[in-house]
Amino acid sequence: MKSITKFDSAFEEDTYKGLNSHPKYLLSKYIYDNHGDKLFQKIMDMPEYYLTECETEIFKAHTSAIADSFNGPEGFDLIELGAGDGKKTKILLRYLAKKNYDFTYQPVDISQSVLDELQSSLLEELPEITVKTQQGTYFKTLERLSDYNTRKKVILVLGSNIGNLLHKDAIDFLKNIKSSMSAEDMLFMGFDQKKDPQKILDAYNDPTGITEAFNKNLLSRINKELGANFDLDSFLHWETYNPETGTAKSFLVSKTEQEVKIPKLYFTAHFKPWETIHTEISQKYDDEVVQWLAGESGLRIETFFTDKEGYYKNYVFRKD
């Protein structure tokens, strides 16, 4: 096969780079096509995936206090990065609408299909609120956030999405958010806390295989869009958690020596027996680590809200 010199998409380029690296990796953001979105909705409903229940508990127990912290003298713009289906956010939106808060809701997500479904459900359930969806990555969105400067901005990042980033990348992400914030703006962000390692492993390695299918959707997408011939059954899903660093990692492990042809990339990936593809990171935190991240990013923690078990925390940050 001839070598590729030009890529038609970021997906092609990132796939080529990842499978040519040592060790191999694939970027987790590409799990989220239509099928991946549906699988993630199933993950959030799993009993083992405690994050959803914990954050829902926080929103139900502290609705009034959270809403009051959002409000500004001229109302506010509520900008949610990685909105998904908006299930948890709707708890707040219903309260804000009921109490006649002056706000607009701008959900941002990489998936247009997810945004379309969210907008449709909000039109049916909460037709009185103003919704402005925006499709794109976090980083592209952050470039435009500073344009929202006529009144207070509340930037919402739920589900411990920051946990998908290594600390150095998380600091860059927080710095980008900070650069778009004025003194009155606030960042409301969820951080999954360190806890019993077994509970964390169970959340990312469920017995029904939903998380396995979610990770293997990367291979399915490469097959579908790049013409590859990955045999999904010849890869094992494997989860690890390091309680010292708080890092959970997901891998796909080749069960045998095999070659996978990817015609669109003019490339054949060779796998040794038990060779890995790193697919996902899910970082866990404590107050000390979050405080350090904030300090490195030019932010300060104003307060936080937590569930009764202390498994999960939503922190409120201001520009330092």
Q: Does one domain contain both 293 and 275?
A: no
Domain presence at residue 252: yes
Q: Does one domain contain both 112 and 238?
A: no
Which structural domain, as residue segments, surrounds residue 126? 62-193+285-319
Burial class (CB in 10 A: 0-12, 13-18, 19+), 68: exposed
Domain presence at residue 35: no
Given a cut of 60, whether residue 253 has pLDDT beyond it is: yes
Domain presence at residue 145: yes
Q: Does one domain contain both 172 and 305?
A: yes
The three-class DSSP label of residue 32 is coil
Cβ–Cβ < 8 Å for 165, 177: no
Given a cut of 90, whether residue 157 has pLDDT beyond it is: yes
Buried b (16+ CB within 10 A) or exposed e, 29-57: bbbbbeebbebbeebbebebbbbbbbbbb
Domain presence at residue 271: yes
Domain presence at residue 123: yes
Number of domains in the chain: 2
- Percent of the chain residues past pLDDT 70, beyond the cut: 97
Cβ–Cβ < 8 Å for 24, 276: yes
Q: Does one domain contain both 164 and 140?
A: yes
Domain presence at residue 185: yes
Domain presence at residue 53: no
pTM for the complete prediction? Answer: 0.90
CA 61 to chain centre: 24
Domain presence at residue 22: yes
Q: Does one domain contain both 185 and 78?
A: yes
Q: Does one domain contain both 231 and 179?
A: no
Q: Does one domain contain both 23 and 116?
A: no
Cβ–Cβ < 8 Å for 141, 107: no
The three-class DSSP label of residue 123 is helix
Q: Does one domain contain both 162 and 225?
A: no
Whole-angstrom Cα distance, residue 85 to residue 82?
A: 9
Q: Does one domain contain both 20 and 121?
A: no
pLDDT tens, position by position, 35-88: 998 999 899 999 999 999 999 999 999 999 999 999 999 999 999 998 888 999
Provide the CATH number for the domain around residue 134. 3.40.50.150
Given a cut of 90, whether residue 238 has pLDDT beyond it is: yes
Q: Does one domain contain both 81 and 102?
A: yes
Which residues, including other chains, have CB under 8 Å from residue 185's CB and lie 6 or more apart? Answer: 152, 153, 154, 155, 318, 319
Q: Does one domain contain both 274 and 295?
A: no
Q: Does one domain contain both 294 and 244?
A: no
